[in-house]
Structure 1
Amino acid sequence: MNEKSMPENTQKSDYLNYSFEDFLQDDFFISSVNEPSEESEIFWTDFQNRKPDNIQEYILAKQYLQSIAVQADPLSDDEISHMWNNISSHREENKKHKRGKLLFITIAVAASIAVLAISFPFLSNIFSDKNTSDIVAYADKNKVEVPDNSEIQLVISDNKTILLDEKEATITYEQNEIKTEKGVLEKEESVTIHQLIIPKGKRSVLTLSDGSKLWANAGSRVVYPSEFGKDKREIYVDGEIFVEVAKDASKPFFVRTKDMSVQALGTSFNVMAYESDALKRVVLVSGIVKVETKESKGAILNPNTMFQFQGGDEKIIPVEADAYISWIKGLYLFRNERLEVVFERLSRYYGIQIQCSPDAAIIRCSGKLDLKDNIEEIMKGLSFDGKIIYSQEGNVYKINKVQ
């Protein structure tokens, strides 16, 4: 059998109502992406030329499959048998899908088998109930308040907390040890779940055990395991992070927050989800992520798009992603942003109190701030155009609109 051939009676109209998930469960679509033939190329070119309503779902599903780069070794008969048993079991649990087909027509090609075997855990987890997450339960039960001004705290056990006084602390998890600027710790000295607490006015760079690298912004709390499990990687965030996810097709990467769940596979994105703020954002720089909230089944983002969530209202907006991750380089870029949001972020960056009057809060502005400047220089720059004035009373800055 030619595994690339189109199934009999297959029509382009069969795919017009397909979702992202449906495409990822269709054997002909998957084989067309992984091993395109002249026949399949013609079929999908014609499909795209029809400009169907679900063209974005098609593109994202194709991008996802292409993002799984696997160098396949031949599988043994036992491995093939075990894989198909797992897939058959999963099919029985998911008969509700309108197309309950196996992901491939044949197992004759070793590379196709390897892609299926490795990507299958991701597909089975993509719609998992985020409310059952162990990391969320732990973060809720072991909540640590983020202090206004103090050292960065690395909590590695109930009775051991490492205090780091650097303005931007670097922490690296390696196979058997944890490296900080205070020295090296053996992982054996710690418990399974760790917490990183970043006070206002400070930041941290954290390299996780899988090689994923994240930047934690001021006023943030990150909860994560010292070693990830076998089937998934997940962390919890109250605050803002930018993360570059290390590729591992067998272990999807989840960022959980109080109101959202973000799933990625070898990608980079920014999450802003302070529990004290109503506004939550996810901005994708590269790759593909899926964002879920308690109110929605999920949204799939492609690069340079932002998922915004506030008070039950969800939006997907095209953006220039670099502007939203400039803080990791010590810059703050903002475009048509409310002054209220700008000053909230500056309050965290500098570890100070800023009070903004209601009429000044709604003013929109654009600009670029160098966060290495002191707060007085920042205030002078923001008030330069004469729309606002500022005053300082003790440790509090007060912002008012010029009347």
Structure 2
Amino acid sequence: MDNQEHQMTLGTNDRLAELFQKYVDKSITEEEYAELFVYIRNPETKDEVLAFLDEHNKKVQSDALVHEIDWDGMYANITNPKKLAGRERKPLWKYVAAAVVLVVASVTIYYTANHSYQKSSPLAYHNDVLPGSEKAVLTLSDGSEIVLDHTAAGKLATQGDILIEKDANGQIVYVAKNQSDEATPKINTLSTPAGGKFSLVLSDGSKVWLNASSSIKFPAAFTGDARRVEIKGEAYFEIAKDKRKPFYVRNGSSEIKVLGTHFNVMAYPDEYRSALTLLEGSVQFTKNGQSQLLKPGKQIIYTESENETKQQEANIEEVMAWKNDLFVFNNTSIDEIMKELTRWYDVKIKYEGEKPDISFTGVIPRNTNVSKVLKTLELTGDVVFGIENNVITCEKKMKK
């Protein structure tokens, strides 16, 4: 950059605001990109950048009509504007620091690609891995399977009085043609592999989204005085209200009872802890005969092997990141991050030498190749990665 870092004269808050706005509008030039990059990465200007962000935050809090910078727009541009279209607009100041991390990451990758001065790494990116996509298998009550990855929209099958179809949005929909009076319901299972996700509309109108390496077992039609499903992995629910028929979600020894609400359950077998997070309504959580009510914005942390549970405030954006095609890390350990990458990219992880004892805070798009995620993590300066034959090699970076 021709010593631009050393020669640059510190700009005012107005200049910083202008650069961020140009980044949002995608009108930023290569030279301005470099200037913004210098502001963010230079320790001498770090305090100025943070002061600017804090000052802008105060203005927004005190005056709802202030719109010098569309931070929601910036966040959407950095991640995925199509996926975030229609989301409720809310303050994203908790993510300003994470957005800055992403700006640094994107500029670093930009200059690596265009100027090729990145320092060599002891590991190598011999291969890259595409992000996960809409993949699932639907197993009907007779044991027959329907691979849904490339199935065209339209009718898939019938189960008694239930029509099963794939709609134009790619989700599976169970449509009740008549009121079912079957004594024994037909149990179906929807399963996603590693590197897959899928959504489902049950016969009562309830909606379910499955994360990678997850499954839900459910009746084609709900009979009797209750609606019951069973899950493994991670799923987000939006339950249709029916006061006469409460909805139950079972996972191992725990059960969730709801009437009509939105919640997320994360219960992967390879995770030490599981979590139930409530977004709307109310639920009753029961484990080993012990029950407790949960209010919106709260979550219950529990383990399958222990009776103790913990109720706490939930970071909703972090919990719902997977559904919004994002990785949101909040002081997340490298071990936890690698588990997420394993499930989403269908890769294996190999640690070379001592496992790095680091954590990461930031927001990274989930709909990007794994190499970009790894390069962003490498910005911590404490870890390096390699990719070969769907195996990610992780190594602690040696200090000079």
- The TM-score normalised by the length of structure 1 is 0.56
Further displaced range: 215-224 or 271-280? 271-280
| Alignment match, 1:274 | 268
Q: Distance in 1 between matches of 2:255 and 2:392?
A: 35
Tell me the distance in 1 between the aligned counterparts of 2:201 and 2:357: 38
The corresponding residue for 2:127 is: none
Equivalent residue, structure 2, for 1:177: 163
**One-letter amino acid of the counterpart of residue 217, structure 1:** N
The one of 298, 319, 323 aligned to 1:305: 298
**Relative to structure 1, is the Cα distance of residues 217 and 167 closer, same or farther in structure 2, using a 3 angstrom cutoff?**
farther
Unpaired runs of at least 5, structure 2:
1-131, 178-183
Contact 2:134 2:197 in 1 (8 A): no
Cα distance change, pair 186–385 in 1 and its aligned pair in 2 (3 A): closer
> Is structure 2 residue 201 aligned with structure 1 residue 197?
no
Does structure 1 residue 249 correspond to structure 2 residue 243?
A: yes
Worse overlay, 284-293 or 174-183: 174-183
Q: 1:150 to 1:206 in 2, by over 3 A?
A: closer
Change (3 A) 1:398 1:332: same
Runs of 4+ aligned residues of structure 1 deviating over 6 Å after TM superposition are: 167-175, 182-188
* Corresponding position of 2:309: 314
**1:164 partnered with 2:157:** no
Cα distance in 2 between the residues matched to 1:150 and 1:321: 23
* Mapping of residues 202-217 of structure 1, within 5 Å: 202-217=196-211
CA positional deviation for 1:229: 1.8
Instruction: Choose 279-288 or 304-313, whichever is displaced more.
Output: 304-313
> Residue 323 of structure 2 is aligned with which of 319, 328, 336?
328
- Equivalence for 1:155: 139
Paired with 1:284 and 1:150, the residues of 2 have a C-alpha distance of 25
Confirm whether residue 372 of structure 1 aligns to residue 367 of structure 2. Answer: yes
What per-residue deviation string (whole Å, max 9, x for no partner) do you get for residues 189-228 of structure 1? x971000111011100100011110100110111000011
* CA distance in 2 between partners of 1:149 and 1:333 (Å): 18
SS in structure 2 of the partner of residue 349 of structure 1: helix
Counterpart of 1:263?
257
In structure 1, C-alpha distance between the alignment counterparts of 2:286 and 2:173, rounded to whole Å: 37
Counterpart of 1:287 (choices 260, 281, 288) is 281
Cα distance, 1:169–1:359 mapped onto 2, change above 3 Å: farther
Q: 2:395 matched to which residue of 1?
A: 400
- Following superposition, the deviation at residue 270 of structure 1 comes to 0.4
Match for 2:229 among 235, 250, 253?
Answer: 235
Between the aligned partners of 2:325 and 2:151, the Cα distance in structure 1 is 12
Aligned residue type for 1:156: L
Q: Distance in 1 between matches of 2:218 and 2:162?
A: 16
TM-score, normalising length: structure 2:
0.57
Deviations 1:347-396 (A, max 9, x none): 11111112357964653222112011111111111111212111224321
8 A contact 1:214–1:241 mirrored in 2: yes
- Structure 1 residue identity aligned to 2:258: A
Distance 1:184 1:239, change over 3 A: closer
| Residue identity (%) | 28
- Separation in structure 2 between the aligned mates of residue 361 and residue 234 of structure 1, nearest angstrom: 43
Q: Give the letter for the 1:161 counterpart.
A: E
Indicate how the Cα distance of structure 1 residues 289 and 388 shifts in structure 2: closer, same or farther if over 3 A, else same. same
Query: Distance between the aligned counterparts of 1:239 and 1:340, measured in 2?
Result: 18
Equivalent residues in 2 for 1:35-114 (5 A)?
A: none
Task: Rate the CA distance shift 1:237–1:368 in 2: closer, same or farther, 3 A.
Answer: same
Where does structure 1 lack aligned partners over 5 or more consecutive residues?
Answer: 1-147
| 1:197 to 1:220, Cα distance in 2 relative to 1, 3 A | same
Q: Which digits, 9 at most, give the CA deviation of each residue in 1:25-64, with x for residues without a partner?
A: xxxxxxxxxxxxxxxxxxxxxxxxxxxxxxxxxxxxxxxx
- For structure 1, which segment, 151-160 or 210-219, has the greater mean C-alpha deviation from structure 2 after superposition? 151-160
Cα distance in structure 2, aligned partners of 1:297 and 1:171: 43
* Aligned AA (1:251): K
Residue number in structure 2 paired with 1:53:
none
Q: Is the 8 A contact 1:254 1:261 kept in 2?
A: yes
Q: How many residues align?
A: 254
Q: Partners of 2:309 and 2:190 in 1: how far apart?
A: 29
